[in-house]
Structure formats: C-alpha cells, structure tokens
Structure 1
C-alpha cells in the first residue's frame, strides 16, 4: 500500500467520523438541524467519492470517474447549502442546479472514452472551484459584520484555496495532457501533495464550521443570561452591567444622566383577582410599552417582580420628566384581555437626575437609591404619578 492510498483512506475515515459527529449534533445535541444534516451529507458523499479511488468494483474507468465526480460535486453543493441555511442566507438552489446541469451536459458532450478522462477531470476541477469559491465569498459577505473582515476571510480561505487548487490541477492536466494521477491512489508526488493539502484544509474547514456553531451557541447563551425570560427585556444582571459601563463612560465624558424606576400599581391585586397568567400578560404589555417609549440609546430592564428600570443617557431634568410622563401615560392606556374582561392598570415612576457637574463624584448605585426613594414617595402619595429627584433639591411631585 503506497502513501497516496494511506492518505486517501485516512481522509475517508476522517470524513466518516465527521459525518457521524454532525449526525449526533443534529439529532442529540440539537444543533441547527438542517445545516448539520447537510454537513453530514457532505462528509459522507465525499468519503464515498474518495473511497471509489481505492476500491476495485469491476467497473469501467469512465463510469468510476463519473461516480467519483458526481459524489464530489454533490458533496460540495451540500456543504454550501448547509452553510447558507446556517447563516440564514439564500441557498442559491437555482444557481447550484444550473452548475450541476451544465456539468452533466458538458461531460456528456465530452464522452466517457478513456482518452477524454483528462478533459473530464479538468471540467470537474472547474465545477468544484466554482462551488467552493462561491461558498467562500458568501461566507465573507455573511460573517464580516459579525466576526470582522479579517476573521471572515480566515474562515472562508479553506474552501477558496481548495477550489482554486482543484481548478489549477485539472486545467494543468488538460493543457499539458498529463494523465498521471487521475486516480488518487496512483503513486505520484502530485497525489501526495494534493491529498495532504486536502487533509489539512478539510480539517481546518471542519473546525471553522465547529467554531461557527460554538460561537453562535455561546452568543445565544450570553443573550439568554442577560434577558428576562418573560418580557424579553434585560434582566437585573444586565442592568447592573449597564450601570457599570455607564459609570466608565461618564468618567471619560461627563454629562447628565437620568434613571427611572417604574412599578406597576396594585400588581398583587391583578394576580389575586385574575390569576398569574393575567399578571404575566400585564408585565409583558408594560415591557413592550417601555420599549416603545425608550430611545435606541436608552437601557430598559426588568429589575424584578413588577419593577422596571430605564437608564436615560445624556438626559437632564426636563428630558427625564417628559420621558417619565410618557411612560406613565403609555401604560395607563394599556388593556390586557382576560376572558371577556379587559384589565387596565397604572404605574408609579420614580426618577433621579444626575447633573453633568456631578458625573465624576456620584456613584450610580446612589442614583438608583434616589430613584427608589422617589418611587416610594410616588406610591405613598397615591400612585399613578411621577416624582422627580434632582440632587441638591427636594423631590418634586407631579400629579396624574
């Protein structure tokens, strides 16, 4: 057994193992199923195609070449389609179908004769190069915003390099009429280099796919760890992180800052009279109302229970007052259905405003404590109202 045969069998075993891993990922680990199954198909098709170079099935060389080429082309189309599904891009089915039909028509025109194997090999190289290079270009386009241009190119290089290498190899053999090495088990230095290159690039490509899946999973877990499961707003942990980030920003660029703490009035009564499902629906409605009122730069979070918070960047007393009144008014217009009844409710809002002159001296936890005190007064004064706390002044009550 020569070195090319050993390398080829190693490639077959490698892709069979990768295929089994993607199947486990799709069926057991709940990876993106359609993408993982396409990648499994790519691995198994490529393994079968490579195995046809080593097996003696008693078939003509022309038929073996046709089967090997068809398997490799379908394998590359499968991985490209799976990657497009994973990245939520157009899978380009019509383009891929056109490439497949074009290849079959040109291959039929060339004919199955043994003296045309070099031409068919060159055609295969060009078809694979088209699919692989297009896949690499689509990766760069899809990943550059998420990973950066440099990382996107690193992830896209393996299929592009492999595709160009296959095209060059096929066209070189056709142009110079080189028949040696058309079968990958032929003992030649060219086959050794090709198989080593494919072994390295396929390993790198599989790790690239695994990196994409792992990165998406970690990103999803990070998002879930910072998201309130009921309302979809940030949770208390993310709120505290946002306060810390804002503290750092204010040290570099002082400015006014406002913080609103919102509490649903008589929320326990809603749960007691209408049930917890109605209470949850009320909280969801409040969360949506706060998102509608807030600006894109504001931070909106559910602080716990029926309490919410909004961090208003670069906002002074008039701005905080207007924002708090919009919140109170928006929620007062809400109605949540419960059977044949419509539930209405209100909120109390406590606001604290930090002037730009105190950006460096005041701690944000003190700002939140002041907003909590303002909220307590708003509830004590009858609810459904806003109390604004401005440092250095007494709390100011705004009646509903």
Structure 2
C-alpha cells in the first residue's frame, strides 16, 4: 500500500502505521469507542474554554473552572480505558474517586458566573467523602458496586445542587429561558447518575460492571453521558453569551458617571407608566430636577469638582427618594424622578423633601464644603398624554422655578 504524502515531501502515514491504527480501532469494543469519543469531546471543550479564557473572550474565572471540569472528565475516561492493564485500583478505584471533582468544578464555575454562593464547605465535604470511600474500597477490596454507587451518588448531588443554583440565580443573570434549559440539562445528568447508583445496588450483576464493558446498561449510560456532556458545554456557552448581552444592555441603560439609570432607561419606564395609567388608571408623577448655577460650579471649581457634585446629587436623590421611585440622570446637570402610584400632594412632598436634603447636605471637599441647591418641576401623568407632552409640562414647571429664584419646587397642572 502506498504511503499517504503531504505535498511533495514527507509521508504522513505509511501502510504499517495505517494497519496498526486499524488494528487498534478493531480491538476496541462499543463501550470503549464511546469512551474515546467522550474523552476527545471533553478535551476539545477544555481547550475551547481555556482559549476563551486566555483571550478574555469569556468570563475568565468560570472558564478556568470549566477547563478543570472537562479535564477531570478526560482523566476519568483515560483511567478507565488505559488502567485496566495495571489494575482495578486504577481503572475503577481512582477513576470513581476523582469523578466528583469534575462536577464540583462545574458547579463552582456556575456559582461564580451566576453570583451565587460558592459553597466551599459542601465541596470539601464531597471531596472528603469521595477520598474516604475510594480508599476504603481499594484497601478492603470492595466489590464493583461500591465504587459505582458512591461515585454516582456524589456526582448526582453536585449536579442537583448546580441545577438548584441555576434555577435560583440564572433568570437574573442569563434569562429565564436559558436558565431553564441549563437546569434541565443538569437535572438530566443527575438523574442519569442516580439511575446508575440504583441499578448498581439492585442489579449488581448486570449494572455494577466496569464502564468499559459493552453491557447494555453501560452503552446506554455512555451514550446519554456523551449527549448530555456535549449539551452542557453548549448551554454553558449560550449562558455566557446571554450574560454578556444582558450586561451590555444594562450598561446601555446606565449613566457612566453617576451609576444611575440614564435617559433611555427613564424613557422606557415612563412609557410603561403611561401604559399602566391608560389601562388601569394608576396615577404617577414626574419630577425634573436641575442643579442651580451649575455652570458657575464648573467655571470656579473645575470640571472634576463638577463631576463630583453630580455624583453627590445623584446619590442624595437616590437615597432620599422612595424605594419604588426611579432616579435617573437625564443629561448634563438634570435628573428625572418617576414616582409610581403618586398623587399631587405626595409628589410635592417628595419634591420638597429632596430639595431640602440637597440644600442641607453640601459636597465635602476636604476641609471645605460646596453648597448646592436644585430647582424641581413637578407634573402628574394625564390619561391619553404622550411622554413628550408630559416632559414639556414638567419642563415648564422647572423653568418657572428657575425664574422665581431657584432652589424651589413648582407644579404644572
């Protein structure tokens, strides 16, 4: 048989090498072939997460945890495949002992991504139980079902806790749909391992066998494990992408200087309040708040102090507004407050309280204080009114407050 050539130069594979590889492949049973595919897919997943982390294309800390999770999966498959010639303590004992490490790292990465509690105490408990069970099994010559049962139960526990964290924290970070898909995938893996533990305890002769044996139970297990393992990494990639999209959307609605919502966010909520008033008759108020003589602050103190003054004003308004109110920076030195379920008297009370708080809490600059004041224009939403018309009315009230001496509240009917 002629060798395979690369270009005009060196042979890549000759007849001897091809026959050797063909012989190796022919000697593998169906279970071993599936294990080899799982090993290759997990190695590829580890490489992809590692590359993404190195390039800062994905969240670095979760990605490195998932590199470790895939690496543990590769190690388990490799020990089960290659360790049989050395002894069952390697192919069975050690592989079962380290298998929960893959799901611990998977859960840790998810918890970090979703801003959930790390649960290091739980993970330490799982590690201690796995090591103790593994050492007892090897030293006492425990039957195969011992390793299958304890390893599968620990794997299932980690996966169930991961699914619980995704259901609790996922909707906020990656969206409800992605959280449901990811949680369902993790639950599927957990049920797979619970089923394996149950079968090993109830039908040890058929189920508590080396995973490389081509039994019907092992072939089903490996096939489902292959599909769900691939799905986990695909859904994790989707979750990371959706989280990035949500972060970008959030940043697009946030003022970079004050950290408050920006005009886009305020416009969206204003449209929602107008729709709610139209459908349910719920009253609301809009307050336009403008810093008095702000150009004078910038000219006399400099723009750096002016920026600090805006941050100070935003923090004061946020702190002293009602918990249900939205405080946003509208642009320049102007802020807007949207007050749901608010009537005329309540709106004026809130506006006057905010004006007074700004007057009473100057900006502290080292050993000196910079006095600030605001003018406030108040308008109530009216049925059938557009957002532009409501803003015009509030703006008229604001300019009336400016023209009447500043540091005051005016209402536009």
Q: TM-score range by the shorter chain?
A: 0.7 to 0.9
Correspondence for 2:361 = 334
Correspondence for 2:403 = 380
Candidates 222, 229, 243, aligned match of 2:256: 229
Correspondence for 2:193 = 166
Pair 1:364 & 2:387 matched: yes
Pair 1:126 & 2:149 matched: no
- The answer for unaligned runs of 5 or more in structure 1 is 391-400
Candidates 36, 43, 46, aligned match of 2:63: 36
Change over 3 Å in CA distance of 1:373–1:37 after alignment to 2: same
Pair 1:262 & 2:289 matched: yes
* Alpha-carbon distance, 1:56 to partner: 5.6
Deviation by residue 1:325-360 (Cα, 9 ceiling, x = unmatched): 112111112222334432112111222234xxx413
Correspondence for 1:46 = 73
Correspondence for 1:178 = 205
> Is residue 256–residue 359 contact of structure 1 (8 Å, CA) maintained in 2?
no
* Alpha-carbon distance, 1:149 to partner: 8.3
Candidates 222, 228, 243, aligned match of 1:195: 222
* Alpha-carbon distance, 1:112 to partner: 5.3
Correspondence for 1:344 = 371
Name which of structure 1's ranges 256-265 and 197-206 shifts more when overlaid on structure 2.
256-265
Per the normalisation by structure 2, the TM-score is: 0.84
- The answer for unaligned runs of 5 or more in structure 2 is 1-24
Pair 1:61 & 2:85 matched: no
Correspondence for 1:396 = none
* Corresponding residue SS for 2:278: helix
* Alpha-carbon distance, 1:66 to partner: 2.4
* Corresponding residue SS for 1:98: helix
CA distance in 2, matches of 1:318, 1:167: 62
RMSD: 2.7
Change over 3 Å in CA distance of 1:4–1:294 after alignment to 2: same
Name which of structure 1's ranges 8-17 and 288-297 shifts more when overlaid on structure 2.
288-297
Candidates 214, 223, 237, aligned match of 1:210: 237
* Corresponding residue SS for 1:383: coil
Pair 1:79 & 2:106 matched: yes
> Is residue 255–residue 359 contact of structure 1 (8 Å, CA) maintained in 2?
no
* Corresponding residue SS for 1:285: helix
* Corresponding residue SS for 1:246: helix
Correspondence for 2:310 = 283
The number of aligned residues is 386
Deviation by residue 1:169-192 (Cα, 9 ceiling, x = unmatched): 344345444277834333333332
Correspondence for 1:27 = 54
Correspondence for 2:45 = 18
Pair 1:116 & 2:159 matched: no
> Is residue 181–residue 188 contact of structure 1 (8 Å, CA) maintained in 2?
no
Change over 3 Å in CA distance of 1:55–1:220 after alignment to 2: same
Deviation by residue 1:22-49 (Cα, 9 ceiling, x = unmatched): 2233332354333221111000110121
